């Protein structure tokens, strides 16, 4: 099978829903899918595009999923690096948030082309904001971006920033996702979106005194999610 095709379980892991829910969405034509020997398979690029088009409603859709997600392994914990986390970002505009997030990402991976990353994220934002509800945003490039591996750069601003949240609200929690592979992008973006619908986690992130406690909140929330899924 061509590696451009991914399985039900891989899509379930990326969306962080059950395999049963993925099959239902394919059966009903919600997700773009193809039949291969009687089983549903998915093109990674098409699932990427579907996630991009549905990014702002993914958290609420996932919260309504009646089926439990499959247990998974921690994804974020191994790549969380406190050097790429800021709890006191000074940025006050969307453009400056993107620039400072890219600079944080460079602390994680010094091989990054920071200017190219800024341009790629800005290009993606021009297609539609990556701001979710509750003051959270997950900016990322619109296509795989070269890096040594998956990168998560996170930041909190003292005041909310106009970032394009659909309801007109301000955003103060930012998570830059940068992955060199499509499937990795789906996994990391899906995991973040799933975690960040948790109001208790949002409170912990907003009250974190430093980068270490911010990272600990994410690690603990992910560990609990993986244990209970």
Give the DSSP H or E segment for 6.
strand 5-6
Residues of the chain with CATH 3.40.930.10: 77-228
Mean pLDDT of 164-177: 94
Query: Which position has the higher pLDDT, 153 or 3?
Result: 153
pLDDT of residue 218: 97
pLDDT of residue 174: 98
Mean residue pLDDT across the chain: 88
Mean pLDDT of 35-40: 87
**C-beta of residue 227 within 8 angstroms of C-beta of residue 69:** no
Mean pLDDT of 27-52: 87
**Which of these ranges, 34-43, 91-100, 154-163, 203-212, has the smallest mean pLDDT?**
34-43
Nearest residue to 18 via CA among 51, 61, 67? 67
- pLDDT above 60 for 1: no
pLDDT of residue 53: 77
Q: Which of the residue ranges 30-34, 192-196, 204-208 has the most confident prediction, judged by mean pLDDT? A: 204-208
* Cα–Cα dist 101/152, whole Å: 9
pLDDT of residue 26: 92
Class of domain 77-228: alpha beta
Q: Are strands 39-43 and 5-6 parallel, antiparallel or unpaired?
A: antiparallel
Residues of the chain with CATH 1.10.1660.10: 5-63
Q: How confident is the model at residue 201 (pLDDT cuts 50, 70, 90)?
A: very high
Q: Which two tokens stand for residue 221?
A: 């929330």
Q: How confident is the model at residue 3 (pLDDT cuts 50, 70, 90)?
A: low
Q: How confident is the model at residue 2 (pLDDT cuts 50, 70, 90)?
A: very low
| % of the chain at pLDDT higher than 90 | 56
CB atoms < 10 A from the CB of 77, how many? 16
**CATH node for 5-63:** 1.10.1660.10
Mean pLDDT of 168-186: 92
């Amino acid at each position: 099978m061509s590696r451009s095709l991914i399985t039900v379980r891989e899509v379930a892991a990326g969306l962080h829903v059950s395999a049963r829910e993925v099959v239902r969405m394919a059966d009903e034509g919600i997700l773009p899918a193809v039949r291969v020997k009687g089983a549903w398979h998915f093109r990674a690029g098409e699932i990427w595009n579907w996630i991009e088009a549905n990014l702002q409603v993914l958290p609420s859709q996932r919260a309504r999923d009646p089926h439990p997600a499959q247990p998974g392994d921690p994804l974020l914990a191994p790549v969380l690096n406190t050097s790429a986390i800021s709890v006191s970002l000074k940025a006050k505009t969307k453009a400056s948030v993107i620039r400072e997030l890219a600079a944080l990402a460079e602390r994680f991976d010094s091989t990054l082309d920071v200017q190219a990353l800024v341009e790629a994220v800005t290009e993606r934002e021009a297609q539609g904001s990556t701001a979710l509800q509750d003051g959270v945003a997950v900016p990322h490039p619109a296509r795989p971006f070269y890096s040594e591996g998956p990168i998560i750069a996170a930041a909190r601003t003292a005041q909310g920033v106009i970032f394009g949240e659909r309801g007109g609200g301000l955003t103060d929690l930012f998570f830059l996702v940068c992955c060199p592979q499509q499937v990795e992008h789906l996994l990391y973006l899906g995991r973040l979106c799933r975690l960040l619908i948790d109001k208790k986690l949002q409170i912990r992130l907003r009250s974190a005194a430093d980068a270490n406690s911010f990272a600990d909140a994410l690690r603990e929330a992910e560990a609990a999610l993986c244990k209970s899924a």
